[in-house]
Amino acid sequence: MKFFIFKKETFIFLLAIGIMLTAVSAWFLLKAGDAAVFNQQDYNGKVREIHMVTAEFKTTLKNGKQLEAYRWDPGTIFIEKGEKVHLYINGINGQNHPFHIEGTDIKGTVTKGEETMVPLQFNKEGTYRLICELHSSREHNGPMIAYIVVD
């Protein structure tokens, strides 16, 4: 049988590292999903609001070539099956973003400087993709896709 003997300083150091790792892990677990859920209300007939924006990322390479990428922010939102939600999308970057939600008849356009309200209510669980039709692939500075997760 082998025993490990630690100095008091080593034990305190390892204990401090353990406490820090536990605190950081707890923070990440408790914050998971917070960025995607705003103004959460009880579900007794009220309509919950979720806010989203159009975002653009630009950079210039050393050879002078410019790269752009468009995104919805947040990129994932979570709603309950049957829950009534108003999704407010603010056009921040890009002139227009015509979109559709895959698997539904929901379509619309987000315009720079304006807010578009999209009423949502899903009666089937699953993941629905909000797709910008102008930026649907890598060749078109995308894909600009957000995920609507219905539980």
Q: Provide the token pair at 77.
A: 């939102």
Query: What distance in Å separates the CA atoms of residue 48 and residue 113, rounded to the nearest whole number?
Result: 23
pLDDT tens, position by position, 52-61: 999 988 999 9
Write the CB contacts of 101 (distance below 8 Å, at least 6 apart in sequence).
107, 118, 128, 129, 130, 131, 148
- Let me know: does 87 contact 79? Beta carbons within 8 Å: no
Compute the mean pLDDT over every residue in the chain, rounded to the nearest whole number.
84
Query: What distance in Å separates the CA atoms of residue 93 and residue 134, rounded to the nearest whole number?
Result: 13
Helix, strand, or coil (residue 52)? strand
Write the CB contacts of 40 (distance below 8 Å, at least 6 apart in sequence).
48
Find the radius of gyration of the CA atoms of the chain. 22
C-alpha angle 104-105-111 in degrees, rounded to nearest 5 = 110
Per-residue pLDDT of the chain (151 residues; tens, 9 = 90+): 666 676 777 777 777 777 777 776 766 666 544 444 434 444 556 899 999 999 988 999 999 998 888 999 999 999 999 999 999 999 998 889 999 999 999 999 999 999 999 999 999 999 999 999 998 888 887 799 999 999 9
- Let me know: does 27 contact 21? Beta carbons within 8 Å: no
- Let me know: does 70 contact 96? Beta carbons within 8 Å: no
pTM metric for this prediction: 0.67
Output the CA torsion 72→76→78→81 (10° steps). 80
Q: What is the pLDDT of residue 103?
A: 94
Output the CA torsion 68→98→36→75 (10° steps). -40
